[in-house]
Amino acid sequence: MKRSELDTLMQLKSAYEKDAENIKVPESLSVDRITEKLKQTSVDPDAGKAGTIIRIRRITAVAAALVFVTVLTVFIRNNIRVNTAGVKNAFEGFELNKLVKNIKTDSELQNIINEILSSDKGGKTSTSAKGATEQSTEKTGLLSILGDEKTTEETAKVENVKATDNDSMIAQAVNSGQVDCLADTVHCSGKYIYTVSEEYDERSGRNYSAVNIIRSSPPDDMFPVAKIPVTDSSSSDVIENCRGIYVNGGTLIALVERSRYAMSGDGSEEAVKSSTVAVYFDISDPEQPAQTSVCEQEGTLMYAKLTGGKFYVATSKSISSEGAASAPTLTVNGSQVQLRADKGEYTAAQNAKEKAVLFITAATPGKVDANMPKLALLGCGSKADVSAMNNTVYITRLFVSPDTGEKKTEIYSFTVKDGAISQSGTYSFDGTIVSGPGISEQGYIRLITSDGSTLSACVLTSGLKLTGENRDFAPAENVTVTYIGSKACVSAQDKTYILDFTNPSSITAAETTVFVGGSRIRQLKDGSILSVSGPDSAGKVTLSLFRSDNTGSVYIFDASQTALAQSDSRAIVCDEKTGIFGLPVIIHDENGNEASAYALFDTSGGDINPVGIYTHDENFVGNAAVRAVCSGGILYTVSNEKVSAFSISGKETIGTVTF
């Protein structure tokens, strides 16, 4: 694209974005009106079948009045809180020493489920200082006239700890350990590259995912040796989505989200049943992969990680029925496995229970069977944050008092030992965690916490005992936190604080004005930290290097003509040993062609210097290179359909293979 065309395009884009922000949208398209309309559509199965689009601006006055009443009702329910004498604020009644309760019998299990279910039946549940649960339902004022019941919401709200705080905090944890493995679509074992591609099934007319195994050595003779379908496209009632693959030694695990739709008797579609499926393959001979196990776990995928020889999967399922039907199901190699209270496979979160259950399994890839460690944590669901490391699972929850807005955080740890997952510690404090915890390979938990005005750092043992603190080291404004190796990069206001957790009992903080943080960050072998931010509105990408001697270096990469292909942190390629790193880019030429490439940089001299642009595809069609691997002086770039190999020093293509 020519410069003048780009300028015009940018001018128009700027005007468009400004207008889109300020444009007056008709009332009929307001969020409330549309949401109500959708609710009516979802209730009436014939609404979408008539073939005519109902124009919302023509909704009758009666319907509008009904919407108004509904909105008014919701508004009143959310905003009018009548104080009721004798009921203590649940937030004040937290039993700090009993955050989690073990369940040993079926009757205990039933009682807990009843308690959770009753908390959502129009009454109020309030945990008093003595731990007793009280319920009441009453009618008052306008709501009585409307015939609705008033629900006083005394229980502290559970907030999603992943959500940002009022202080605009965002955070990312970066996995850097060799033993850990977060899901990705590309893995390289040195001799083979494993990548997930989207394929088209001509028979069903639907797409499916497949894992491709490509022999990548020698790079001038790359060859696809296997293609394994990992999702099923044969049924329109089942939608599967491959979330990524894990490769460890002779095992490959494909993680698949499955949504199963059932039809009701009258032909209208019913609710979805969500589950997470781990498909295990033996790849000891990568050229002849063999499926060994399939483990289907009910619930929406929350977390998955391969670490310490175990594959942890956490799913969340809402509790909507009593008894056995509320238990999450686990199916291993076609056989359904029942969780048992007498084996300690149920526990319950005590404060501000959610109407949900968090289901955690820890499978050993080479031995996936019904006896794998598993745990159902009742009263805790999709709003919790899960992490795993060193045979320990950590769960973090944030509570907000509905009355005062006061925030409180709870952390539970569970140890995986002797075929079971059992509670090992709890910790609670006033305030919030800025990001999930950063867990070291030694099992220490690093936390950056906020009390709303300042940030503090602390370290807990795996049993959740406090070992070190650095209080009030920075203001809690515009904060980003990234854990990397033994350090954390905390950006607050205009400074970056590099916290060093090497000594858990003494946390040190170094300051720099160079921004180092965000999700696109890597640690090099010499301890220096590299991060990528942008592009900004002018198309500039900032590459920052924070050296181990606490000095910084910045390189501005003009991406106005060479756009970044992806902001995904996994798209960065980094050879920690040589200090070479790269980013995927899209290059536009004057004829309007778009080329997919990787831009490489060298940090070995202590500064950031460009090495070159390595073109993956000169005129790509939809599939840009979004992953790359550096190995033995060779750069491999990977797209959905192609792998290219380059000599980094020679800046030339050695080989390509499509699959």
> Can you give the binding site for another protein, defined by CB under 8 A?
1-2, 4-5, 8-9, 11-13, 15-16, 18-26, 28-29, 31-32, 34-35, 37-39, 41-42, 48, 53-57, 162-163, 207, 239, 241, 259, 261, 269, 271-272, 274, 300, 382, 586, 591-592, 594, 620-622
Q: Closer to another protein at the Cβ: 15 or 132?
A: 15
Q: Closer to another protein at the Cβ: 58 or 203?
A: 58
As a whole number of angstroms, the distance between CA 25 and CA 499 comes to 47
Q: Closer to another protein at the Cβ: 26 or 147?
A: 26
Q: Tell me the helices (H) and strands (E) count for the chain, helix number first.
A: 5, 46
Cα dihedral value 187, 192, 194, 195, nearest 10: 100
- 497's tokens: 């604080």
**DSSP letter at 367?**
B
Per DSSP bridges, beta strands 487-492 and 480-484 are: antiparallel
Q: How far is the CB of 571 from another protein (least distance, A)?
A: 14
Compute and round to an integer the Cα radius of gyration of the chain: 27
Q: How far is the CB of 344 from another protein (least distance, A)?
A: 30
Q: Closer to another protein at the Cβ: 24 or 130?
A: 24
On whether the CB atoms of residues 411 and 437 are closer than 8 A, the answer is yes
Q: Closer to another protein at the Cβ: 84 or 567?
A: 567
Q: Closer to another protein at the Cβ: 64 or 420?
A: 64
Q: How far is the CB of 175 from another protein (least distance, A)?
A: 16
Q: Closer to another protein at the Cβ: 28 or 578?
A: 28
Q: How far is the CB of 295 from another protein (least distance, A)?
A: 20
As a whole number of angstroms, the distance between CA 598 and CA 651 comes to 11
Q: Closer to another protein at the Cβ: 147 or 592?
A: 592
On whether the CB atoms of residues 624 and 565 are closer than 8 A, the answer is yes
Q: How far is the CB of 501 from another protein (least distance, A)?
A: 26
- 226's tokens: 């296997």
Q: How far is the CB of 53 from another protein (least distance, A)?
A: 4
Q: How far is the CB of 272 from another protein (least distance, A)?
A: 4
Q: How far is the CB of 1 from another protein (least distance, A)?
A: 8
Q: Closer to another protein at the Cβ: 586 or 645?
A: 586
Per DSSP bridges, beta strands 300-307 and 335-337 are: unpaired
As a whole number of angstroms, the distance between CA 2 and CA 168 comes to 38
- The number of residues making up the chain comes to 659
- 508's tokens: 């040190």
The contacts of residue 61 (CB under 8 Å, 6+ apart) are none
H or E element at residue 48: none
Count Cβ atoms below 10 Å from residue 422 Cβ, excluding itself: 15
Per DSSP bridges, beta strands 432-433 and 445-450 are: antiparallel
Q: Closer to another protein at the Cβ: 114 or 268?
A: 268
On whether the CB atoms of residues 553 and 559 are closer than 8 A, the answer is no
Q: Closer to another protein at the Cβ: 178 or 591?
A: 591
As a whole number of angstroms, the distance between CA 457 and CA 418 comes to 33
As a whole number of angstroms, the distance between CA 489 and CA 474 comes to 12
Count Cβ atoms below 10 Å from residue 278 Cβ, excluding itself: 23
Instruction: Please state at what angle helix 31-43 crosses helix 61-79, rounded to 10 degrees.
Output: 110
As a whole number of angstroms, the distance between CA 640 and CA 200 comes to 13
On whether the CB atoms of residues 91 and 401 are closer than 8 A, the answer is yes
Per DSSP bridges, beta strands 170-173 and 480-484 are: parallel
Count Cβ atoms below 10 Å from residue 456 Cβ, excluding itself: 20
Q: How far is the CB of 202 from another protein (least distance, A)?
A: 17
Q: Closer to another protein at the Cβ: 54 or 290?
A: 54
